[in-house]
Amino acid sequence: MPVLCIASEEITFIENEFVTVQFEKPLQKVAETVMKMYPDIKSEIEKRFHSVISFTPTIRLIKDRGSFQSMINSGPVVAVAISKDNLIIIDNSKMKTRPFSLRTTLKHELCHLFLHHYVGKGDLPRWLNEGVCQNISDGIAEIMIGENKNLMKQAVLSGRLLPMNSLERRFPAEDRPLLLAYEQSKSFVEYMENKYGPESTMHILNHLRDGKGIASSVHMALSIPLIDLEKNWENYLKKNITWLTYLSTHIYQILFVLATLFMVYGFVRFWIRKRNYRDEDDGFIPE
């Protein structure tokens, strides 16, 4: 049974042997919901990775956006996982903003903590970390930027994908490259698991856990050099994302734009003709 404790006038917490939930008093019902959903989320991650979550995380619920942003320095995100403290901080004000929900966000951040503990002192690349956690949480990341479903397609068609080795340590700071980094990470891990099986990720993680680098871990787990895997992924994207498919998915927008242009063109012609008629009525003959 959870135990309700008072930490201060502003912050209260509920805890049991598996998790601690900190919250501002108006969020008590939300905190109780987190306590109820946590065992299932924990079980799902343990089942996916065939490993037990032995650490006890603290989940901190923040009531408003301003308070959340004052606590972190991680760009346009709705939640963060601080691995060294086993801490998850969630901006509760965004949990009903599509596509985020409390459950998917919590699962995503708990996955980050799990990967940190599982790999231990191993060198976990940022792209692998984010890609795996997005796949675990139904493709949802913690980033909150205006939707741009075409960003990945545009990068493929223009040949401007970010090199995966540039995403090993950190992601770009600017919004659009940052969003692209998240999308690439998800796509790359999805491709890898579809091509080599869902357990391919675990094989790589195990090698990282043993102290191998990411290039060696991928080669040992999948029997293909990382650079070749990346080339194969890029070729796969190019085959499936062409200008024809890109235009076909935006046919209604294209038709709308064309119709608008024709309307503007017709209006301009009508206005010019009307002005010419008025000039003729006034005794002027246009050249």
Place of tokens 């099986």: 197
**140-168: buried (b, 16+ CB within 10 Å) or exposed (e) per residue?**
bbbbbeeeeeebbbebbbeeebbebeebb
Q: How far is CA 192 from CA 64, 159, 195, 238, 281, in A?
A: 38, 21, 5, 16, 74
Domain limits of the chain? 1-119, 141-249, 250-287
- Structure tokens, 49: 């990775």
> Which residue, among 39, 24, 30, 81, has the nearest Cα to 58 in the 3D structure?
81
Place of tokens 């871990």: 217
Pick the CATH number of 1-119 from 3.40.30.160, 3.30.450.20, 3.40.190.10, 1.20.1640.10: 3.40.30.160
The angle subtended at Cα 132 by Cα 128 and Cα 133, nearest 5°, is 115
Q: Render each residue's pLDDT in the chain as its tens digit; 287 residues.
A: 454 454 555 789 999 999 999 998 899 999 999 999 999 999 999 999 999 999 999 999 999 999 998 888 777 899 999 999 999 999 999 998 888 899 999 999 999 999 999 999 999 999 999 999 999 998 889 998 765 567 889 999 999 999 999 999 999 989 899 999 999 999 999 999 999 998 999 999 999 999 999 999 999 999 999 999 999 999 999 998 864 454 445 454 545 555 566 676 666 676 777 666 665 555 544 44
Q: Is 242 helix (H, G, I), strand (E, B) or coil?
A: coil
How many Å apart are CA 239 and CA 67, to the nearest integer?
Answer: 45
Per residue, the 3-state secondary structure of 49-91, as one string, reads: HCCCCCCCCEEEEECCHHHHHHHCCCCCECEEEEHHHCEEEEE
Question: What is the pLDDT, as a whole number, of residue 256?
Answer: 55
CB 222 within 8 A of CB 203: yes
Cite the DSSP H helix spans in 197-250.
200-209, 214-222, 226-240, 243-248
